Amino acid sequence: MEDDEGDVILVTLGQDAPVRLDKALAAAVPEEAALSRSRLMRMIAEGAVSRDGVAVTDPKAKAAAGEVYALRLDPAAEVETLAEDIPLSVIWEDGDLIVINKPAGMVVHPAPGTPSGTLVNALLAHCGDTLSGIGGERRPGIVHRIDKDTTGLLVVAKSDRAHHGLAAQFEAHSVERHYLALVHGVPSAHDPRLRGLRGITAEAGGIIRIATGLARHKTDRQRQAVVWDSGRHAVTRARVIEDYRGAAALVECRLETGRTHQIRVHMAYAGHGLMGDQTYGGKRRLPEKLLGEAAVAGNAFARQALHAASLGFVHPVTGESLRFEAPLPEDMAALVAALRAAGGGT
């Protein structure tokens, strides 16, 4: 139960609250407050969390069901989005939209933690003079996002008309989005373990369909989790492109919906987490005895091995059908080459 008092949120810990304070607060705080566990830990350390009027500054302090904590929210800092001359890989551009091949490490939209160095900052420098306005402001229209460390194709609107038209296509799930991912193990529609998992079905052509709800994780608000009685409907279709000696695979993932971390969560749920995924990949490692140096490279991969490889949609102004492809980035291409050299790729 929560109550708002200006810039203070009162949070009552539930019956199943974790024993550790930061985890208990992360589980109990209202989702609309958008407070991650890391931010809650900072708030605790800064004395912004109190109980019975006394600040609690130890995130590991013991917590108990029924306890009420006051969380003081300082006013959000104003974020002025500035144009920054950051190199962009432009695949297509006209007066209404632009298609970008985003590199790893680039956040799409500025936020208090990342006010600069984002795709929006770069676009303001690249095409700020040609933006006709989104909602009355001269800014690029973001209609979908890909994670900071995911590479690949992204379309951005430059006009209000394009923004509304593209947003409608994403809402109708008519945009074609194919990703390439390197995963642990080899997903198979014939695997009885997979077929026994709720929400997973086999389709023609060796395609595995994963349909679940997705919602914020109960104890870690930075993560998403598979749920069944709530959350947002999410559907991913996965197909193996290459099998690396049964230990790993290059998988094509097709999105029917586009939820936060969808492919990463769904592949982990299926037992085939992405290489390099520190959030959902678990502790699984490639076997060095089987794959040699390729296993070493895969186990040391510095980001989730995920690439938005193709993007197709109808131009919202001209009505032309457009489809774009982006080759694997250098790091994933090198890992694929190493896995093939280890005797895989069938």
Amino acid (1-letter code) at residue 140: P
Q: Is 328 within a domain?
A: yes
Q: Are residues 218 and 151 in the same domain?
A: no
Q: How far apart are CA 160 and CA 174, in angstroms?
A: 20
Chain mean position to CA 83? 25
The domain of 52 spans 2-72
Q: Are residues 167 and 117 in the same domain?
A: yes
Q: How far apart are CA 83 and CA 104, in angstroms?
A: 20
SS3 for the chain, per residue? CEEEECCEEEEECCCCCCCEHHHHHHHHCCHHHCCCHHHHHHHHHCCCEEECCEECCCCCCECCCCCEEEEECCCCCCCCCCCCCCCCCEEEECCCEEEEEECCCCCCCCECCECCCCHHHHHHHHHHHHCCEECCECCCEECCCCCCCCEEEEEEECEHHHHHHHHHHHHCCCCEEEEEEEEECCCCCCCHHHHCCCCEEEECCCEEEEEEEEEECCCCCCCEEEECCCCEEEEEEEEEEEEECCCEEEEEEEECCCCCCHHHHHHHHCCCCECCCCCCCCCCCCCHHHHCHHHHHHHCCCCCCEEEEEEEEECCCCCCEEEEECCCCHHHHHHHHHHHHCCCCC
Q: Are residues 329 and 204 in the same domain?
A: yes
Tally of domains within the chain: 3
CATH number assigned to the domain comprising residue 11: 3.10.290.10
Q: Are residues 192 and 260 in the same domain?
A: yes
pLDDT at 324: 98
Q: How far apart are CA 211 and CA 200, in angstroms?
A: 6
Domain boundary among 72, 104, 124: 72
| Six token digits for residue 308 | 């938005």
Q: Is 216 within a domain?
A: yes
Q: Is 194 within a domain?
A: yes
Q: Are residues 187 and 312 in the same domain?
A: yes
pLDDT at 3: 39
Q: Are residues 165 and 187 in the same domain?
A: no
Query: pLDDT of the chain along its 346 residues, tens only?
Result: 333 344 788 999 988 888 999 989 988 887 666 676 777 888 999 899 999 999 999 999 999 999 999 998 876 454 478 899 999 999 999 999 999 999 999 999 887 778 889 999 999 999 887 776 555 566 788 899 999 999 999 999 998 789 889 999 998 999 999 999 999 999 998 899 998 899 999 999 999 999 999 998 887 777 899 999 888 999 999 999 999 999 999 999 999 998 989 999 999 999 999 999 999 988 899 999 999 999 999 999 999 999 999 999 999 999 999 999 999 999 999 999 999 999 766 6
Q: Is 285 within a domain?
A: yes
Q: Is 346 within a domain?
A: no
CATH number assigned to the domain comprising residue 292: 3.30.2350.10
pLDDT at 134: 58
Q: Are residues 160 and 191 in the same domain?
A: no
Q: Is 85 within a domain?
A: no
Domain boundary among 108, 143, 172: 172
Q: Is 8 within a domain?
A: yes
Domain boundary among 114, 140, 172: 172
Q: Are residues 327 and 210 in the same domain?
A: yes
Q: Are residues 97 and 157 in the same domain?
A: yes
Q: Which of 147, 149, 191, 243 is catalytic?
A: 147
Q: Give the largest CA-CA distance in the chain.
A: 64
Q: Are residues 332 and 211 in the same domain?
A: yes
Q: Which residues of 231-251 are buried (b: 16+ CB within 10 A; e: fewer)?
A: beebbbbbbbebbbbebbbbb
Is 147 an active-site residue? yes
Q: What is the dihedral of CA 267, 268, 273, 276, to 10 degrees?
A: 110
Half-sphere exposure of 126 (CA within 13 A, CB side): 21
Q: How far apart are CA 314 and CA 318, in angstroms?
A: 8
Q: Are residues 222 and 237 in the same domain?
A: yes
Residues with Cβ within 8 Å of 247's Cβ and at least 6 positions away in sequence, in order, are 184, 185, 186, 286, 287, 290, 291, 295, 344
Q: Is 81 within a domain?
A: no
Q: Are residues 192 and 167 in the same domain?
A: no
